[in-house]
Structure 1
Amino acid sequence: MLLLIGAVVITTAEWNNPETLGGFGVGGKLLAGLFHGAMPRTAGFNSVDVGEMESGTLLVNDILMFIGGGSAGTAGGIKVTTFALLAFVIYSEIKGEPSTHAFGRKVPALVQRQALTVVLLSVGAVMLATLAMLAITPFRVEQVLFEVISAFATVGLSTGITADVGPAGHLVLSLLMFLGRVGPITLASALALRDRSRRYELPEERPIVG
């Protein structure tokens, strides 16, 4: 689904952009669109100038890079399994079901909390790095956000500003690449190993949500 959605959205958004897909024939546009729909979640190659893409296309790339590839694989991001698990959690909550089920199996509450922790900490890391990069570089927010997520997800795509962010920016991006490479899987493993039971429970309270 992610491959199909990414390819369709990117191809449609860039179809008439003369700096990207606009100069190709129909076959070339479809091929390049499919290629760029897959690359944000895998190898990070590009066949057109990413820096010339529309702002909406960059945002789609941001989402695809942040989700990343399959769990326990070499791709970065929060991983497809984590993203899909949270989607099932949301679906179950909307339906009012007391537990989450996926493909004929019940998903333990512990695994749900692990997925939520990985995603929220990843979002926090990306947002803090984006704010830091905006403070030390003169570039637009969509350019900075793209670079930050690409570094965090160890994708390798760039809008072309990486060489101009300065030593401090390079340090931030380098730290993000290290964190994004070892962080999610290490965090998930650590959370799984810290499973323990409580000897007592506090009184239940229902805070206001929303």
Structure 2
Amino acid sequence: MWPYLCFRKLILSTSVVHLSKATFTISAPDIRRLPEDTGIEVAFAGRSNAGKSSALNTLTNQKSLARISKTPGRTQLINVFEVGENQRLIDLPGYGFAKVPLEMKKKWQKALGEYLEKRKSLKGLVVLMDIRHPLKDLDRDLIEWAADSKLPVLALLTKSDKLSSGKASAEVLKVKKNLSALNADIRVQAFSSLKRTGCDSANQIICDWLAQANKIESTPEN
């Protein structure tokens, strides 16, 4: 009689993730209005003036997937974009800069905090920071929280077209060095929505995270 062999196999789907397939699904004031907490989600977070909406549009190769406003801080809700089956991009409310009433800021902050702490399908966090003013207190708090939570982070230093290539590279190295002490899965790169700097590499990282939804874990029955 053959002894029972306990084994687990990962079967990878042959489908490829394309961010360009992203479509708007819903805007929710809190996590209770979000889709079922299954699959894989990659969230985008950053200060209200970091260019989050522009980055989302650039990465998905769509002009108006995320609404761009001349007034920073207009992302007041949690916006959900479906990329594929069980694959979503999440646009979180901006923080820090927005010139809005304090009570509204507190409401946004609560929604953001609840999502980060309670959403089990969150598997990757994109933190956007203006390359000229990176690692403000709230940025660092967010990245440190992700590090403590063993959540991979992609730090995009936006608006890199505002600096020379040499200065931009120096800022990237400075941020990498600053975050290295966290000893976490944190990748840092320059990004420009205008010139599409860093778009391909950022796209690949995000797609790799989302591709986890294509892994089917199977265990044979006794």
| TM-score under structure 2 length normalisation | 0.28
Question: Which structure is larger by alpha-carbon Rg, 1 or 2?
Answer: 1
Q: Which has the higher contact order (CA 8 A, sep 6+)?
A: 2
The structure with the largest strand share of the pair is 2
The structure with the largest helix share of the pair is 1
| TM-score under structure 1 length normalisation | 0.30
